[in-house]
């Protein structure tokens, strides 16, 4: 098990925020099929409203990801963003009352663009990032 790391992302630019999420080494998968992903062992100090704004930007304009990061880095980054382990992940952020509802709503609505402009085009090794119509035969 990896030791916990503390990271303060308050004041991060959008560029630095994206690097925090995606510019990571991909851990090898162990013999039992379990990855030791970075977001399992990070404690993040963050400004929730600021991070929600970064997600709106990322979800609305995701096209740059393919040219800047490997597909494995992007996939792992989105597992962090959409999963339950990262305290500043979008799944947690959209429920925080401290973030104005209008910003949380923008974040959720921007996810449509993420699927439309990125996941519908990009190819990943699992079904997490597919729409229901993609998986129907």
Domain residue limits, the chain:
5-135
Rounded CA-CA distance 40/76 in Å is 11
Rounded CA-CA distance 71/93 in Å is 25
Please report the pLDDT score of residue 135 as a whole number: 46
What are the beta bridge partners of residue 43? 6
Please report the pLDDT score of residue 64 as a whole number: 94
Burial 30-39 (b: 16+ CB within 10 A, else e): eeeeeeebbb
pLDDT tens profile 104-127: 999 999 999 998 888 888 765 555
Q: C-alpha dihedral over 66, 72, 74, 79, to 10 degrees?
A: 160
Q: Angle, nearest 10°, between helix axes 14-22 and 71-82?
A: 100
Rounded CA-CA distance 89/107 in Å is 11
pTM above 0.95, yes or no: no
Please report the pLDDT score of residue 106 as a whole number: 96
Query: In terms of C-beta density within 10 A (0-12 exposed, 13-18 middle, 19 or more buried), how is residue 56 classed?
Result: buried
Residues of the chain with pLDDT under 50: 129-132, 134-137
- CA 35 vs. chain centroid, Å, equals 17
Closest among 14, 10, 12, 22 to 80, alpha carbons compared = 22
């Amino acid at each position: 098990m990896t030791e916990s790391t503390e990271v303060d992302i308050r004041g991060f630019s959008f560029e630095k925020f994206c690097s925090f999420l995606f510019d990571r080494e991909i851990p090898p998968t162990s013999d039992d099929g379990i990855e030791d992903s970075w977001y399992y062992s990070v404690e993040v100090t963050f400004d929730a409203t600021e991070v929600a704004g970064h997600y709106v930007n990322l979800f609305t304009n995701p096209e740059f990801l393919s040219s800047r990061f490997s597909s494995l880095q992007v996939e792992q980054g989105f597992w962090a963003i959409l999963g339950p382990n990262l305290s500043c992940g979008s799944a947690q952020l959209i429920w925080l009352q401290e973030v104005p509802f209008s910003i949380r709503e923008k974040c959720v609505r921007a996810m449509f663009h993420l699927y439309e402009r990125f996941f519908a085009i990009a190819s990943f090794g699992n079904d997490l990032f597919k729409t229901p119509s993609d998986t129907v035969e």
